[in-house]
Amino acid sequence: MSFISDIYAYLFYFATLVLLGGLALKILQYARTPAPLKIPTTPAPTTKTGVALRMTREVVLFESLFRGNKWTWIFSWMFHFGLLLVTLRHLRYFIDPVPVPIQMIQPFGIYGGMAMVVGLAGLWARRFFVDRVRYISSRSDHLILALLVAIGASGLMMRFVLHTDIIRVKEFFAGLYNLQVVTLPADPVLLLHLLLVALLMIIFPYSKLLHAPGLFFSPTRNQVDNPRERRHIAPWAKRLEQE
């Protein structure tokens, strides 16, 4: 099995590199691109604290989506909140010793996994049944949903059907920190699960998953509404003034 373990070790190094590197580059690019005009969608907060609150409501509650479409809101909130619980639950495979809050969250992580899959199924169904959403869906939109569903389903399978040797999985990842390849359990469902996760990490910075950092850079949401009080001039626009 060590051949496969080697491959997975390299795969995860590569995936981590692509994910972190790609995201860092994207974030840098967003941060460096000037926003030459104030374009918050009003009524917008007039203070930075107000903007922080608006942003928090968007990130935690999906406020705009709630106003936009209740079904999409329910399903995507289920999915994202489920994903959050699952991620927190998974931390125990990567951290030693496991902090108490993470220990306590373990059972909820399972419900999170289920919520995640149900939410995804709902979102996917909309892509077939709502003609407007069907029209805008490209193949990659379906594939990303398929990928996420497969990750969720294979994860749940290991919990309920084919248990895997979780101690050894944990040892494998602990080994990666020390640049050592510890053998992974030769468990097809586990290998599939890990493969798909690595794939998700790799496509993250090159796909619409960029909506995650994108939200924080969205001028319509993150700008303070104070253009009469403050000039807001981008470097390239400043140059026009010197001409």
Query: Judging by beta carbons within 10 Å of its beta carbon (0-12, 13-18, 19+), is residue 64 exposed, middle or buried?
Result: middle
The residue whose two tokens read 């930075």 is: 48
Part in contact with another protein (CB under 8 A); list of ranges 85-93, 106-114, 168-176, 204-212: 204-212
Give the integer Cα–Cα distance in Å for 147 and 193.
10
Residues 75-114 that bind another protein (CB under 8 A): 76
Three-point CA angle 39, 43, 44, nearest 5° = 55
Nearer to another protein, 35 or 121 (CB): 35
What DSSP character marks residue 42?
A: S
Q: Which stretch binds another protein (CB under 8 A): 91-99, 114-122, 166-174, 235-243?
A: 235-243
Does residue 208 touch another protein according to CB under 8 A? yes
In the stretch 43-62, what mask flags binding to another protein with x, by CB under 8 A? Answer: xxxx---x-------x---x
* DSSP three-state, residue 236: helix
26 binds another protein (CB under 8 A): yes
How far apart are alpha carbons 170 and 6 in whole angstroms?
A: 15
Calculate helix-pair angle for 2-32, 166-177, nearest 10 degrees: 60
What's the min distance (Å) between Cβ of 50 and another protein?
8
Residues within the interface to another protein (CB under 8 A): 26, 29-30, 33-39, 41-46, 50, 58, 62, 64-65, 67-69, 72, 76, 123, 126, 130-133, 135-141, 143, 203, 206-208, 210-211, 214-215, 217-221, 225, 227-228, 230-234, 236-237, 240
